[in-house]
Amino acid sequence: MTAFDLPGSSSDENDFIDEKIFHQTTSAPVGENHEDGVNPIMSTIISPAGKEVIVNLTHGDDALRLATEAEELVVTDEEDRKLCWKIDMCMFPLMCLIYAVQFMDKIATGSAAVMGLQTDLKMKGKEYSWVGSAFYFGYLFMNLGPVQLIFQRSKRMASMLAGFIVIWGLILTCHAAPSVNYAAFIALRVLLGCAESVVTPCFTIITAQYWRSHEQFARISIWFGMNGLGTIILDSMAYGMVKHQHTYALKAWRLLFIIIGVITIFLGILIYLWIPDDPSKARFLNKREKLMVVHRIKSNQQGFGNHEIKWYQIKEALTDIRTWLYFAFTVSSNIPNGGLSNFSSILFHTFFHYDVPTSLLMGIPGGAVEVVGCPLFGILAVWAANKKIPIWKYKLTWAIFAAILSLIAGCMVAFATHSKKAMLGGSYLFLISPVSFICVLSNISANTSGYTKKWTVSSINLVAYAAANLAGPQTFIPKQAPFYKGAKIAIVVCYAAMTIILIILLLVNMRENRRRDRIQAERGGPEKVENLEFADCTDFENPNFRYTL
């Protein structure tokens, strides 16, 4: 590695791929019959690191079932646009509602806290901080391995997802049980984290199954941005319940959990009935449209998925510098998120001195910023890419811009203590920060090839997400109330760090793409192996793979 090399490019990949062939081996040697009587389809390619890789299509992607039929398919631009629009209309409304509801579940404790939760459960000192953290203990545990093992091995991903959604709805309703004390409430939050941990990784995989790499950032921006819609719905509900709480037999905060739980169960049933396990099973697509989906995602150098756990891909994920850049970014971006999502309503109540109903209403503008801002950034990124505007054509540039805005927001909250209006404006500007996290999710979706590797990188990233959100509420130290100076300084430091990490990620990917273009030119063109896109090769193995910027 020269002084001008960035880590994670050629040298790191060369070191890793020294183990001669780790890709999809078979017990039957080349030329002999496989145990099912079919001769394995095997060929070799040369990886970007210059190593020979055996490609065995008998261990390839689920999309291979349709790949041969799709090979001769001729699709016009107009047909492709109509198909993309149809997929958007059929998949997105339900995905967006699920994502809105899962965020309502996360932040419900913040609203419930000012509605009487803390008093009724006799919380003292840092006990409420552990309510926020407990959820992420469950989230952390599940993403250490169980989520990947359950969902990668299963051929019914959407059906399993629906089951988890119904379970978490039931857990939410249990939050309202009159017999629930503080210890039981903490246990329920842990179980809720276990159940909800499956949504983001499953949605990331689903997005990669239907949309091209350059389309994924905008789509993830839309469904992730529905966190803002969840905030608006939850705070509106909570406000109405507080205003009319004398008319209910239950405490308003208990009723809040019941209503959200019932909505969640209903949406879980809809997921089971409508969302397909993969595009080949989509009831809203005819046979030609299913072939068109295979045809359109070939450019991703990825397919629908593979249900075999491939240990070499796990090792590759652990040695890929991008995995740890994602990890470091997610820690730095979600420590502030973990604190603010649980303490925002309390801050409005204790620091800005709003009464309880007004404190709940003050969260709605922040939700509006997120539900409009996140999709808007995604749409602007697509527009800039289509127009080929220098620098701004890269999605990571938009993520860096959002990170800088978040840093400014952090400074406004931390240092503009003489102006409550500036602090309030900063607290709303915070809600642009998810744009950067969305971009990292789309990078994992588009830039991680090999199904086991994709699940592994996604799981590691969500472990970081859980750990950071677990730590976030602990930065709000009760004796520092109502200013919480330590939490504010942590927010500024974290947002500065995540900006630097995003810049490094952009430079690493740009350099590796240039290196691969140079190698491909020296070799006389792209590797020509039939259905290489659906061979479940990793991005380290496939010389035709390019990283989305």
- Could you read off the pLDDT of 17-39 as tens digits, one per residue? 344 333 443 333 333 444 444 33
pLDDT band at 127 (very low <50, low <70, confident <90, very high): confident
How many CB atoms within 10 Å of residue 411? 17
How distant is the alpha carbon of residue 318 from its chain centre?
19
Asked if omega into 7 is within 30° of 0 (cis), the reply is no
Give me the pLDDT at residue 531, please: 74
Higher pLDDT residue, 369 or 3? 369
d(CA 289, CA 279): 9
Enter the pTM of the model: 0.81
Tokens, residue 517:
């273009």
The arithmetic mean of pLDDT across residues 76-91, rounded, is 90
From CA 325, how far away is CA 501, in angstroms rounded? 7
- Which candidate, 312, 264, 327, places its Cα nearest to that of 466? 327
Is it true that the peptide bond before 482 is cis, omega within 30 degrees of 0? yes
Q: Apex CA 446: angle with CA 455 and CA 206, to 5°?
A: 60
Q: What percent of the chain has pLDDT over 70?
A: 86
Whether the Cβ atoms of residue 43 and residue 261 lie closer than 8 Å to each other: no
Q: Coil, helix or strand for 52?
A: strand
Q: Is residue 451 over pLDDT 70?
A: yes
* pLDDT for res 346: 60
pLDDT attached to residue 271:
93
Q: Which fold has domain 77-523?
A: Growth Hormone; Chain: A; (1.20.1250)
Specify the pLDDT at position 17.
39
Confidence of residue 11 (pLDDT cuts 50, 70, 90): very low
> Which one, of 151, 49, 169, lies nearest residue 108 by Cα?
169
Category of 388 on φ-ψ map: left (φ > 0), alpha (ψ -120 to 50) or beta: left
Smallest CA-to-CA distance from 374 within 297, 441, 464 is with 441
